Structure formats: C-alpha cells, structure tokens
Structure 1
C-alpha cells in the first residue's frame, strides 16, 4: 500500500490506452493519486479512435495474457466474453498451416485465445480499471485531449511531465508542468521518451531492431447465412518460399476479420478488388475459397509499422529515478504474431508484484520493476525475432551464432509441433506465454525435435478433432 509520510504520493501515466489502464491498475494502492495523460478524447460508444492506428486489425489475448489480465482486474476475461469476444482453443479452434502442412487439431483445451475488436477491448478494460480505482485508496484523473510533450527533471531523476492541450489534431496553448513522484510511459509504439532523454541530459537507451519489412491489410467479413460460419479460425503465415500469409478469425457480432500479410515486394493491397485477389496467392487456397461465401462489411485498412524494436531500459543506469516504461513503449513486436497486448498485461503484473514485494515505490524499486517488465517480454521477443530474421535485409540481417542455432531449432520444433502432441504442447505453452522458453529445452522435447524424422503436416485443414 502507499506510504503516508505527510504528503500525497503521486503518479502520472502517459497514455490512456490498454497499457496505460493496466499501469493504473498496477499502481492502485501504492500511490494516492494517478493522472492519466491521453492525447485523444475517448469515444462515447465502442468505436474506433484515431490514436490507436492498429485498431482496425486483429487483436488477440493469448492464454498467458488472459491470466495476467484477470490477476490485475479479476473478472475481465469474463466481461470481454460477455461483450462478444470469441474464445478459441489452440489448436482445436484456431489452426495453423505450417510450411510443411496443416496442424493436427488436438483437443487440449489448455490455451484459449481471446479474439475481439480493439474498441470493445479498450472500452471494457478502461471501464473496469477506472471503476476499480474509484475507491479511497487511489484517486485517478484522466486528462483527455492532452499531449505529453516532455519530461521534467534532470539526468538523475524524472520529476514530472510537460503537457499541452490538444484541439483536434493539433496542440494548442502553452505547455505546463505536472509534477509527480513517478512517471510511467505507456504511450505505445510512438513513445518519445528516447528523444526526451536529450532534454534531461541523458543518452537515449540502447535500441535493438529487427525489421522483416512485413505489411498487412485487414477487412471485416460476415459469412453468408445459408452457409453459416467456418468451422475454425485459421492462421497461414508466410514462409521464405511463399512470403504471403493470412489469418481469418472470428470476432464479436458474428463477424470475421481477414488479415493478409506479406514482406517486401509482397505487401497486400488496400484496393478492395485487389485485396480479394491477393488472398488467392497465399500458401493455401482455404481462405480464398471462404471469401466466395462471405460478405465484406468494412473497407480495407493497411498497416506497415511492424518492426520489432527493443529499448534496453533494463540495463544499469538506463532509466532515471522516477521513470518506468511499459508495454510497446518498452518493447514492440511485429503485431502479426498477436503478442503485444499479452506482454503489456504481463509487464503490468510484474510492476505490481515488484511494488507489492517492496511495500511501494521506494528507492531502487522502479529499477527492479523495469527489469521485471523487460523479463516478461523476453519469450515474445525471442519468438518474434526468430520468425522475422530470415526476411531482414541490410543492417541487422546477420544473426550471431547463438541466434542462428536458436532459429534452426525453433524451425524444426515448430514443424514437429504441428504433428506431435508432446512437442506441440510445449510449443504452445511457450508461445501462449504460460511457460518460459526453457520449456522447449526439456530433454524429452529436444530428443523428439532433433532425433525423430521431420514429418510433414496434413495436406488439408483437418475436419476431425483428435483427443489430446
């Protein structure tokens, strides 16, 4: 709980989206007041807002992220389901087409994946987060249409945030300073904290990027009434020999989202007719055939900012006292892998657990919390970078020996996981962020991956569900 030393302990959270609301929840009870700085005005209903540029695309919560979300805000997964989110078990209800063929549909019922549109997700989480902080322990104020334009303090310590009101798409008026004992940057992929470091007299944190050059485009469809919904959601990632992919997954309201993707030279078009034609060029005809029995109910929306970017705030001296960086502002993944929201939730749990163990944000506690936040992102970073590295060009294209061995092993393991119950279970535990990467190095998993012959997947999407 917050320490009371004769004055209020205050916090500022930059960003009022998903990561920002999770940060508010993590800080609850450890500070007296929280001010949230949000560039947009929240919509009055559950509609898209400009400040979430990826909002029109697929969003999933992996099982590890769902567990973290319910630890922070008990009952939220159920609330999302009540709002229409679809729960799909891997690999029974959401099946991947690997380079060697389709997965077998094992009925494990261990890893539900929650699929929902971003406006509904954000609204449910925001409503529950603000309701949870409505008691006397912590007061929360959200400053909508307000932009953070800098940090205050010096190279040693951050003391607050400089903000300016926004009028539509433009900043208006004079910047003012808001003081705080701690600041959380949860502003997402566009975080400006590295640039603000110069104003504090600090060097920007070391940054690591792996950019596959992937872009994707998404359109919403509704299956025609006479045919009903497809039996399963599908994921058909690209591979070097066929660098175009697709995912077709149900969301609330009886709608499905189709995301088409491709790396350099293979970017999907946003023209509606060309978008449908592009679906015929991916590595399996299943999705293209489904479109003949579905009605489009939205325009096509494109997205290209898919670089994996990690800023090493966890390294000694990389953050001044009073600052913590969370979510995509800390570590950004290629969104096509669906990890970002789950990692944000796991990072918020790491922040809360650190504060709980220390009894509040005392000296050195935020630095420990930052290291815990970064550790929570490690498994997702390893998976995303390993998948994207084969497509990288120029600077960063060459991986070290350790990463090359890891990529080779993961490639063989993912192929084995498509047909092998034992290896598949371990692979899904790690991919869904419920087990550390060391789970993939368990002796029985290594032996089955390396010594057993590499078997192809199934030639077509299986209709039969097999016992786990």
Structure 2
C-alpha cells in the first residue's frame, strides 16, 4: 500500500509485527492516518518470516494479555482458538516441577495460558487489526520491505521518520522523509531509538539490564499415538541446584513444542543427539521419557538474546514530544518467562485508554502514554529480573540487601505455592499479569509463606486433579 499523503492527524508505527499491529489498534479512531513501516514482506499464509528471530520457539499469552487483546480487538481470542490455539488452564493443564517437587494439580479456572505458534498468532492479529482499521475512520497503510533509518525533528520534538526501501529495487538506497504528529517505535529488541536520539542531539534514556546468560532451544514434536500423549503441558524450570529447564506444551494441529534452556555453562546444544541427551539432565526425567513416544517434526532451533533490558523512556524529560515506545523496544524480558506478548498487549491498551481520556493527540499525550506503558510492564519486569538476578553478570550490578532478602523470600514463597492453593493463587495472579507484585507479600500470603511449615511437593507428576 502507499502511505497516506493528505493532511490531518498522522502517526507512523515503526514495525509491523505483533507490537506494531497492537499499536495500530490503539491509535485507530484517534488519528486520521497511520503508516506502518515494516522491514520485511509479510509471508503468504500463516508461515514463518525471517524478521521474527524467536518465531520458532514457544509463545504464550497470559491471562492479562488475553484480556487486553480481546478488549483491543474483540473476538480475537475466539479467532485464535478457531485457528488451533490451545488453552491451558493453570495449574490443572500445566503441571510444574519445582525445586521441592511437583506442584499440586489444582482445578482453579481463573488463569490460563494460550499456547500457539507465532506465525498463526501474528497472522490472526494482523488480519483482524487491519480489518478493524478498514471499518474505522482511520486510514492505515503498510509499507512492506521498508526500513526506518532515523527520525526527523530536533531534541525537543520528533516530526517524522526517515525511511528507505529494502527490496533491492531501483533507488533502494534513496532515503525519504515521512512526516507525522506521532511516531511509535514498535520495532522490538533491535530498536535503534537510542542512536536516533543521539542524532537529534539528546541523550538516550537510562537503561537497566539483568542478564542471566540463558540460552534456549526448541523442537516441534508429534505424539506417535495421540491416545498416549500427556493430558497436560509440563513445565520444569531451572533452579539454583539444577540450572537447566524444559517446557513441553501442545500447540495447534496436534503438535507439541519442547523448549529447553540453561544459564551460562549449561546452554543446551542445537544438534539432534545433544538435544535429546540434554532433555535427560533437567530437574526431572519426565519430559525425556515422553520423547520416546513422540516423533520430531522440525530441526532444533536456538536463541540466545535473552537479556532483560529496560529503557526508562517514562522518566521526566526522557522522551521528546511526538514519540512513543511500545513493546520490546522499551522493555524486553527473558523470553523463557513468556511475558513479552502479554505486556505488549497490556501496554497498547494503556495507550488507547490514555488517548481516550485525554481527547486524542495533544501536547504531553505521548509522555502520559509512555508512563502508562511503563506501569503496564512493571510487574513483568520485577518478576523476570528478580528471577534472573541470581545468575546476572557482574556488570549488571550486585544485588542489594533488599534484593537478596526478596530472593530468599521468593524461594520460600515458591516452595509454599507448590502445595498451598492460597499462596499458589497469589503466584498465578502475579505471574499471569492480573495483579501487581505486591500481591506476593500481602499479609495473608506473607504469614502463610513464613510461618506455615515447609513440606515437600509431590515426588512424581500429579495425575489427579484436585478441586480447590
């Protein structure tokens, strides 16, 4: 499509992936025209594309992300289910082995994971986002195979984006400028906004990192006999004494994805024989035993860019007028925790609500929206960075006394959550992004965690579902 060239309130979204389409949905109705600048060409059908480096790995939407997505694009959860997404009720349909043993399998139908492959998720959201735009007064144009190479404006205000084509056509090195009242950076982990800020004569935002040095690998399987497939996904996260983990969950078409991970010195191999051998070294042999009953459908795919990184665009003075950052471009998490897509959806909903409350684009709107996006990411940041802090690099800073106390409490909390439905419910509220992290230290939860006796969880995977 060609970009909109008429007058009116205009916005540019850098990145046409999931976060970009969510940004479009948040802006529709509040601007007259949106131009999406996407580096790739979208594939025909629901297939993998090169510009999504994590595409072949496990992807889930948590409860908070599901609610946000369906508020942004009503009916999308049903469309994803129709496309084959699997809903795993927690903890009934996802059994977890902790350091103290297997978590009790409660039936508590408040939280779920939506498990689906990334190409299907991206395609469904993109189709519905663009269809919703067609039915709105906002015109949306997508520039595929086009790269954003910089911002226009000055240190105080962004006025547009400099772009050039990437498909090798004549004039492919020609840079042109697209003007806009608002530019949204939804370009993901590879965002170049800090460098672009320097070109405008302003400082990059303060950045925090917590890097556990974790790497993970994924392979798709199909049970040889569907009747013998497990009736729940299996999650065996790593812990201090066993820093290797694995998760095995169903996706569409009767297939299952196995993702295995390890911190520095424990990285899983990407060759087939090593992959299978590694599966026997995680905290429990259950997943390794299941592989004998399944056939592999894909090669082994690896991924290592798992650093938690937060750029504080929400701080006073950190953001020029007319610029907004959404999704991984501003706050990215270790993907092994499955929070990124949900946070992007919650952040996009926060942008929409900010625009609605403020009457659309006005001076200061982008800064208010950025603060709302930061609040939307706070719980996920606290949990992901806190979980990775024990394995962090020296340059990420030594854990403070408060952080060390929090880590000790969290260790005891997780052991209690595996056997206690009350503490377990608090854990799921926070993990699934429907409650702030303060929920973990609410008086009732604190007392149960600290003063009830410590007991081991199940020694074997639970087959019986318990009613709370």
* Aligned-partner Cα distance in 1 for 2:237–2:427: 16
Q: Which residue of 2 aligns with 1:36?
A: 36
* Aligned-partner Cα distance in 1 for 2:271–2:128: 38
In 2, are the aligned partners of 1:223 and 1:255 still within 8 Å (CA)? yes
Q: 1:170 to 1:374 in 2, by over 3 A?
A: farther
* Aligned-partner Cα distance in 2 for 1:59–1:120: 11
Give SS of 1:239's match. Answer: coil
Q: Which moved more, 1:160-169 or 1:275-284?
A: 160-169
Question: Residue deviations 1:291-317, cap 9 Å, x none?
Answer: 000000000000000000000001001
Residue 366 (structure 2) pairs with residue 366 (structure 1): yes
* Aligned-partner Cα distance in 1 for 2:226–2:349: 45
Residue 341 (structure 2) pairs with residue 302 (structure 1): no
* Aligned-partner Cα distance in 2 for 1:358–1:261: 44
Residue 114 (structure 2) pairs with residue 125 (structure 1): no
Q: Which residue of 2 aligns with 1:383?
A: 383
In 2, are the aligned partners of 1:319 and 1:367 still within 8 Å (CA)? yes
Give the CA deviation at 1:120. 0.1
Q: Which moved more, 1:127-136 or 1:29-38?
A: 127-136
Q: Which moved more, 1:453-462 or 1:337-346?
A: 453-462
In 2, are the aligned partners of 1:151 and 1:162 still within 8 Å (CA)? yes
Q: Which moved more, 1:161-170 or 1:121-130?
A: 161-170
* Aligned-partner Cα distance in 1 for 2:427–2:170: 46
* Aligned-partner Cα distance in 1 for 2:226–2:77: 32
Q: CA RMSD in A?
A: 1.4
- After superposition, residues 64-463 of structure 1 pair within 5 angstroms as 64-167=64-167, 172-225=172-225, 227-463=227-463
Give SS of 2:126's match. Answer: helix
Give SS of 2:40's match. Answer: coil
Give the CA deviation at 1:123. 0.1
Give the CA deviation at 1:421. 0.6
Give the CA deviation at 1:227. 4.5
* Aligned-partner Cα distance in 2 for 1:216–1:147: 29
* Aligned-partner Cα distance in 2 for 1:179–1:417: 52
Q: 1:250 to 1:226 in 2, by over 3 A?
A: closer
In 2, are the aligned partners of 1:227 and 1:293 still within 8 Å (CA)? no
Q: Which residue of 1 aligns with 2:11?
A: 11
Q: Which residue of 2 aligns with 1:49?
A: 49
Q: 1:240 to 1:12 in 2, by over 3 A?
A: same
Give the CA deviation at 1:171. 9.7
Give the CA deviation at 1:393. 2.7
Give SS of 2:434's match. Answer: coil
Give SS of 2:324's match. Answer: strand
Question: Residue deviations 1:190-222, cap 9 Å, x none?
Answer: 000011111100111100000000000000000
Give the CA deviation at 1:119. 0.1
* Aligned-partner Cα distance in 2 for 1:146–1:124: 22
Q: Which runs of 5+ in 1 are unaligned?
A: 1-5
Q: 1:81 to 1:32 in 2, by over 3 A?
A: same
Give SS of 1:242's match. Answer: coil
Q: 1:171 to 1:408 in 2, by over 3 A?
A: farther
Q: Which moved more, 1:402-411 or 1:213-222?
A: 402-411
Give the CA deviation at 1:173. 2.1
Give SS of 1:208's match. Answer: strand
Question: Residue deviations 1:5-55, cap 9 Å, x none?
Answer: x94000000000000000000001000000000000000110000000000
Q: Which moved more, 1:171-180 or 1:204-213?
A: 171-180
Q: Which moved more, 1:433-442 or 1:294-303?
A: 433-442
In 1, are the aligned partners of 2:383 and 2:437 still within 8 Å (CA)? no
Question: Residue deviations 1:266-308, cap 9 Å, x none?
Answer: 1111101110111011110000000000000000000000000
Q: Which moved more, 1:21-30 or 1:384-393?
A: 384-393
Give the CA deviation at 1:361. 1.3
Q: Which residue of 2 aligns with 1:3?
A: none
Q: Which residue of 1 aligns with 2:3?
A: none
In 2, are the aligned partners of 1:18 and 1:126 still within 8 Å (CA)? yes
Structure 2 length-normalised TM: 0.97
Structure 1 length-normalised TM: 0.97
* Aligned-partner Cα distance in 2 for 1:7–1:170: 29
Give the CA deviation at 1:169. 12
Give SS of 2:174's match. Answer: strand
In 1, are the aligned partners of 2:13 and 2:20 still within 8 Å (CA)? yes
Q: 1:91 to 1:186 in 2, by over 3 A?
A: same
* Aligned-partner Cα distance in 1 for 2:102–2:169: 46
In 2, are the aligned partners of 1:389 and 1:397 still within 8 Å (CA)? no
Aligned length: 463
Give SS of 1:149's match. Answer: strand
